[in-house]
Amino acid sequence: MDHHFILRVVAKMLMPPIMLYALYVQFHGDFGPGGGFQAGVIFAVAFILYALVFGLDSLRRVAPPAIVRAGVALGVLLYAGTGAYSFFKGKNYLDYSALADADHAVGGQHLGILLVEAGVGLTVASVMIAVFMAFAARAPEIKDTDW
């Protein structure tokens, strides 16, 4: 897609706002609609757009498959680890009030929600990028005349 000059410029311009919006959705999930699931998908969209316009090899340089695959597992680990932490603090599994002092239970809830949503976002984004990579790696290079 070397000759699609407008497409490449527009894609480059769109990527930062997409990522910024994903972060907004991630961290504003406590106040408005959104959360880790939606943010993860939106964040992955930026990478997929990059791969669609600049090719899969460029994406592999930006997001090495090994790191993406590690992200898939790390997100679940962060979520389950938050639960395990409160478990070993003597509270129920995933009871976030263990993350703060007894008189700051609400703050513990806030921190807990932040952590598990981060885990959700990491796993969802990594899975989406990894699945797209898996599909795109098998497809032959699509010529412009095929469409």
Partner 1 sequence: MKLRNLFAVVMLSGVFSLLSASLFVAMDAVDVAFTEAAVGAGISTVLMLGTMAITRQEEKPAQHSRALPFLVVLVTGGALLYGTADLPPFGALDTPVQQHVAPEYIERTPTEIDVPNIVTAILASYRGYDTLGEVVVIFTAGIAVIVLLHGSSRPRRREEDEEAES
- Determine, following the binding rule CB under 8 A, whether residue 63 of this chain makes contact with partner 1: no
In the bound state with partner 1, the residue whose beta carbon lies nearer, of 8 and 136, is 136
The Cα–Cα gap between 108 and 106 comes to 5
Rounded distance between C-alpha atoms, residue 40 and residue 60, angstroms: 19
Q: Using the rule CB under 8 A, is 50 a contact of partner 1?
A: no
Q: Which residue has the tokens 């894609």?
A: 11
Residue type at 33 in one-letter notation: P
Q: Looking at this protein, which amino acid is placed at residue 92?
A: N
Q: Which of 55, 60, 87, 100 binds partner 1 (CB under 8 A)?
A: 60
Total residues found in the chain within this entry: 147
Task: Give the three-class secondary structure for 142.
Answer: coil
Site string for partner 1, 1-40 (x = CB under 8 A): ------------------------x---xxxxxxx-xx--
Kindly state whether residue 76 participates in binding partner 1, applying the rule CB under 8 A: yes
- Asked whether 56 and 137 are in contact (CB, 8 A), the reply is yes
The C-alpha atoms of residue 67 and residue 44 are separated, in whole angstroms, by 14
**Number of residues binding to partner 1, judged by CB under 8 A:** 57
Residues that bind partner 1 (CB under 8 A): 25, 29-35, 37-38, 41-42, 44-45, 48, 52, 60, 65, 69, 72-73, 75-76, 79-80, 83, 93-94, 96, 105-106, 109-110, 112-113, 116-117, 119-120, 123-124, 126-128, 130-140, 142, 147
